Amino acid sequence: MRTFDKISIQEMSKEDMLMIIEALEYTGSKTNIEAFINLKNSILKELSSLAESSEEEFLEYLNDSCKSQNLV
């Protein structure tokens, strides 16, 4: 097996990414385990940087995209 330090999420859908972000937020707030919140923040920071937007703008984009497809 090859070793690696990073994993690409290139093929992940917006809906799946939003679900992961929301699950990390929910789990972190319900369990008071800060690692979940930190991971959510890290993912959101990286994705918003790639999209050249603020974290708030990127999260709003994901939410709007999923709403328009009646997924949330």
pLDDT for 72: 45
Predicted TM-score (pTM) of the model is 0.78
Q: Which residues of the chain have pLDDT under 70?
A: 68-72
pLDDT for 66: 83
Q: Strand, coil or helix: what is 32? A: coil
Which tokens is 14 given? 């917006």
Give the number of other Cβ atoms within 10 Å of residue 40's Cβ: 19
pLDDT for 44: 94
pLDDT for 26: 97
SS (H, E, C) 8-22: CCCCCCHHHHHHHHH
Per residue in 56-72, pLDDT (tens digit) is: 999 999 999 887 655 44
pLDDT for 22: 95
Task: Give, as one character, the DSSP assignment of residue 53.
Answer: S
